[in-house]
Amino acid sequence: SVMLTVLSCVLVANRIKSEVNNGTVVDTAVSTAFKSAKSKIFDINFVLAIISLMGWFAPKEAARILGKSTSWLAKKRMADKQ
């Protein structure tokens, strides 16, 4: 979550900087930056959620397919299953 916060701040700051460099008033640049960064931040969060789900389910499936555990989480799940 800290990484996402930093990334969001960097996105907004860069967008504000580019808007001000193009001659936009600071007030308008800030509102434009937040509007344009909102969709990118949502996309990043959505991708992170998908990756988290893959990390949750993938070790279990890999262990099932390979017949052996591939990580500590898969080992724990296999032990819980038995």
To which residue do tokens 């509007």 refer?
35
Dump pLDDT digits (tens) for 2-59.
Answer: 777 788 888 889 989 998 999 989 899 889 888 888 888 888 888 888 877 777 776 6
DSSP characters over 16-31: HHHHHHTT--HHHHHH
Q: For residue 58, which of 43, 45, 71, 76 has the smallest C-alpha distance?
A: 71
Residue 61: band (very low, low, confident or very high) from pLDDT cuts 50, 70, 90: low
